[in-house]
């Protein structure tokens, strides 16, 4: 007489065959590698990306220097060309394409380490982190204060550089940074500090410093040297000034 438990006599071999097939496919696909990329250390991924971008930026800077050197050596020596080159060199200085040396004001913004339970009534977790608009407020204020050159973290920036934050990290020219965020501006320290104090957006950020424990620090250095800007110069969207 057929009994229900006899069905396992057929099911077990089928299950075993299916499992063996899956193991074989996995082994072939992985080729010895982990099939679970999500388990990789995210910090290591970011650090590897930063190193790769920094290396590529150094390569670009070297190639740009070589092109400039060859251009000066091999170009025809006409007076018109020399005049054009002199004009380009003058603009390069103002555009941030050359090194700059002078007095520097450094602004440091940092996330709060305060226990959320100690925040004032009505507060939320957004109070505890530095946001994109906070970094942009400092950058805008320093430009308005007459900054002749600027650094954001370890990169030279110019007036068209974009400040973008993803979560509580800063994305700048292909590299990712974690707080504290440092903005360094070269110029007249008194004017730069006054511009920071007069900026409504910076004032708004500073209002949260005592309330939420955010970091805000301003320091002045007598003499620093900034490297030349090495980012892209092509504008995708531009409109002529009227």
Is residue 35 scored above 70 in pLDDT?
no
Question: How far is the C-alpha of 167 from the C-alpha of 177, rounded, in Å?
Answer: 11
pLDDT in tens, 109-167: 999 999 999 999 999 999 999 999 999 999 999 999 999 999 999 999 988 888 888 88
Is residue 40 scored above 80 in pLDDT?
no
Tokens representing residue 5 in the block = 């438990």
- Do 187 and 146 contact (CB within 8 A), yes or no? yes
Q: Mind spelling out the 3-state secondary structure of the chain?
A: CCCHHHHHHHHHHHHHHHHHHHHHHHHHHHCCCCCCHHHCCHHHHHHHHHHHHHHHHHHHHHHHHHHHHHHHHHCCCCHHHHHHHHHHHHHHHHHCCCCEEEEEEEEEEECCCCCHHHCCCCCCHHHHCCCHHHHHHHHHHHHHCCCCEEEECCEEECCCCCCEEECCEEEECCEEECCCEEEEEECCHHHHHHHHHHCHHHHHHHHHHHHHCCEEEEEEEEEEEECCCCCCCCCCCCCCCC
Is residue 71 scored above 70 in pLDDT?
no
More confident residue, 236 or 202: 202
Q: Per-residue pLDDT averaged across 213-234, rounded?
A: 90
Is residue 28 scored above 60 in pLDDT?
no
Is residue 53 scored above 70 in pLDDT?
no
Confidence of residue 47 (pLDDT cuts 50, 70, 90): low
Q: Where are the domains of the chain?
A: 40-92, 99-226
Question: How far is the C-alpha of 151 from the C-alpha of 107, rounded, in Å?
Answer: 11
Assigned fold of 99-226: Alpha-Beta Plaits (3.30.70)
Is residue 173 scored above 50 in pLDDT?
yes
């Amino acid at each position: 007489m057929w009994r229900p438990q006899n069905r396992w006599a057929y099911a077990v071999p089928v299950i075993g065959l299916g499992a063996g097939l899956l193991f074989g496919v996995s082994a072939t696909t992985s080729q010895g590698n982990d099939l679970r990329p999500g388990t990789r250390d995210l910090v290591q991924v970011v650090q590897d990306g930063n190193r790769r971008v920094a290396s590529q930026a150094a390569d670009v800077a070297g190639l740009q220097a070589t092109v400039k050197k060859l251009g000066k050596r091999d170009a025809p020596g006409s007076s018109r060309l020399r005049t054009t080159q002199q004009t380009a060199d003058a603009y390069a200085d103002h555009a941030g394409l050359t090194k700059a040396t002078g007095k520097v004001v450094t602004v440091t913004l940092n996330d709060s380490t305060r226990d959320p339970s100690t925040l004032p009534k009505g507060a939320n977790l957004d109070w505890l982190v530095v946001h994109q608009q906070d970094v942009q407020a400092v950058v805008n204020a320093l430009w308005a204060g007459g900054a002749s050159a600027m650094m954001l973290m370890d990169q030279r920036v110019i007036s068209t550089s974009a400040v973008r934050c993803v979560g509580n990290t800063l994305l700048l020219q292909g590299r990712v940074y974690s707080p504290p965020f440092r903005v360094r501006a070269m110029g007249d320290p008194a004017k730069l500090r006054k511009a920071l104090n007069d900026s409504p957006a910076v004032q708004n950020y500073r209002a949260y410093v005592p309330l939420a424990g955010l970091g805000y620090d301003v320091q002045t250095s007598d003499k620093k040297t900034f490297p030349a800007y090495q980012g892209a110069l092509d504008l995708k969207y531009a409109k002529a000034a009227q």
